[in-house]
Amino acid sequence: MSTLAVAIRNKRWEVAALCLLVGVAEAAAVLPPDAVEGLLEVLAGLEDERPRRRGGARSFDRLSGRAGRTGRGGRR
């Protein structure tokens, strides 16, 4: 079981928040530099408030099934 799952099961919200923060940091680390602004807008809920630039950053819900995966652990 993942650290995040154990933290949620045990209601250790600080640990769960830290796990989520690490996941976001890992995702941001592999983004092109100009896409970080788009990531921050998605996280802040501002994505739909401005017109999207063609070829700009995409939100995680538009990625092909890779959101949230950090490459650690195996599938069950």
Q: Is the pLDDT of residue 34 over 50?
A: yes
Q: Is the pLDDT of residue 1 over 80?
A: yes
Give the contacts of 36 (CB within 8 A, at least 6 positions apart): 28, 57
Going 66 to 70 to 74 to 76, the CA torsion angle's sign is: negative
27 confidence band (pLDDT: 50, 70, 90): confident
Task: Count other Cβ atoms within 10 Å, centred on residue 27.
Answer: 17
Which whole number is the average pLDDT over 46-68? 52
Does residue 59 fall inside a structural domain?
yes
- Number of domains composing the chain: 2
Mean pLDDT across the chain = 75
Q: Is the pLDDT of residue 22 over 80?
A: yes
Do 36 and 17 have their domain in common? no
Residue 15: give the domain boundaries.
Answer: 1-30
Return the amino acid letter for 70. T
Q: Is the pLDDT of residue 71 over 50?
A: no
